Structure 1
């Protein structure tokens, strides 16, 4: 595929971020909003997750702890309310932690392809394996939101660009490894739990995107399966 045509394919599917989210890559963290005194529907679960006294009643200290978590992960409004979005993020973190070092315990990612990058959309985890051997991960990732889902199936990395910039939104997409049209592994400066998700790309932390860059190459298989919560 020629370079001009190849760039066009990527432009049509630029997936990491749209303009408003692009600003979040470089903008300073938002100032914390005022804390709410209202008890949320997931108060006890959130208190337990944060190591707070579990009494199901909002306190000033509870609110500050919840608010700090929301601010860190880009959950809005960050007013310390123990609502469904905050609890969904925490619940996902619990499920990811429970996986331990056996991300392919269910055997859904192929073990007969040699080196392959696996993406479990349901758990928002990715890892690299070689046969049945775990090579790297699992690591949390941020995939496509509702309406912009990361496409499932067996793909191959076909183009890598370490300094890629989206030519639709002028958004940096460092360590891009494209495997399905404009969908790629790439680095972002956001929390992996920042809702609602990307526009189709598999977002990674800079550290993990660099690791994937060093471990993968053109022609390597990528297998995406499951369904992202909320899609």
Structure 2
């Protein structure tokens, strides 16, 4: 190949290379950058750089807002509500349960075996110095009051559940002899006039009535007499009238189981004696405070039986 042909081929090759470069610039058919959607490469200073991805122009937010756009303001936030102060629940005070009030068991006017036991127990600790009678009168009330005072209890003279429980805790169960001592125990020596026949032997010294048959004591009971202004007569008499449901015509007061022996004076049951004991007095009659005993006596005594009232 001559020189001319070689130059001509070189020129054609150069033209072909230039055309290829132009086509490459206009069509952008270069290797894509890594990642889909990359833009055409840009050649600058002989160095080919990949163009920015095509999606950036459309998707990237503009740096400045459009002049026609109305700026939107976020609604002001309401201040958060302050947390409610913690409350410590204070339970309402519960009313204290008061102990039940003491219940009354025995009081003045009461009678029966429980009263007899009360008297026997009080006698064990030297608060009652008489023979148990089974009748709750002023003497028993005073003994109960004395016991309550010594134990720091209210001095009511009434035996309530508290007083009774305290007494039970300090004493033992009374024996039969303590509850019902022999009849001769409280009785004074009988008057000689009482040793024969059927006699109501009444002693003002021991304040007792002994029902005696041929010198033997059948029963004994506590009695009280008239005051100094209406004294009970002394001497030997006879029962001349029995009246089971008698009522005094002078004083309009009941005289149950009346055994009349001298005028208007009689041996009879007295509810006042049972309630008040020796703090009271009769209008001359011989009062008996044990209703059961006088009822039994009334059934046994006959008209004409002797009555002896002595000191």
- In structure 1, runs of 5+ residues without a counterpart are 1-28, 31-46, 70-96, 227-231
Structure 2 vs 1, CA of residues 150 and 119 (structure 1 numbering), >3 Å: closer, same or farther? same
Cα shift readout 1:7-43 (whole Å, capped 9, x = no counterpart): xxxxxxxxxxxxxxxxxxxxxx79xxxxxxxxxxxxx
Q: Which has the larger radius of gyration?
A: 2
- Residue 256 of structure 2, aligned match among 168, 171, 174: 174
Count, aligned residues: 152
Alpha-carbon contact 1:160-1:177 (below 8 Å) kept: yes
Cα shift readout 1:114-147 (whole Å, capped 9, x = no counterpart): 1101111122111111122112x21111221222
**Structure 2 counterpart SS, 1:214:** helix
Measure the CA separation in 2 of the matches of 1:104 and 1:60. Answer: 36
Consecutive aligned runs of 4 or more in structure 1 exceeding 3 Å deviation? 57-60, 97-100, 102-105
Measure the CA separation in 2 of the matches of 1:119 and 1:218. Answer: 17
Give the aligned partner of residue 158 of structure 2: 68
Q: Does 1 or 2 have the higher relative contact order (CA < 8 Å, sep 6+)?
A: 1
Give the aligned partner of residue 203 of structure 2: 120
Cα shift readout 1:55-84 (whole Å, capped 9, x = no counterpart): 9x86642734xx338xxxxxxxxxxxxxxx
Farther-moved stretch of structure 1 (197-206 vs 98-107): 98-107
Farther-moved stretch of structure 1 (100-109 vs 183-192): 100-109
Q: How does 1:138-217 map to 2 (within 5 A)?
A: 138-192=220-274, 193-204=277-288, 205-217=290-302
Measure the CA separation in 2 of the matches of 1:106 and 1:187. Answer: 24
Measure the CA separation in 1 of the matches of 2:188 and 2:256. Answer: 31
Farther-moved stretch of structure 1 (137-146 vs 148-157): 137-146
Alpha-carbon contact 2:199-2:305 (below 8 Å) kept: yes
TM-score, length basis structure 2? 0.42
Measure the CA separation in 1 of the matches of 2:232 and 2:182. Answer: 21
**Structure 2 counterpart SS, 1:119:** strand
Structure 2 vs 1, CA of residues 48 and 103 (structure 1 numbering), >3 Å: closer, same or farther? closer
Measure the CA separation in 2 of the matches of 1:188 and 1:181. Answer: 19
- Residue 132 of structure 1, aligned match among 215, 222, 237: 215
Structure 2 vs 1, CA of residues 170 and 114 (structure 1 numbering), >3 Å: closer, same or farther? same
- In structure 2, runs of 5+ residues without a counterpart are 1-107, 110-124, 129-142, 160-179
Deviation, structure 1 residue 159:
1.2
Measure the CA separation in 2 of the matches of 1:196 and 1:99. Answer: 27
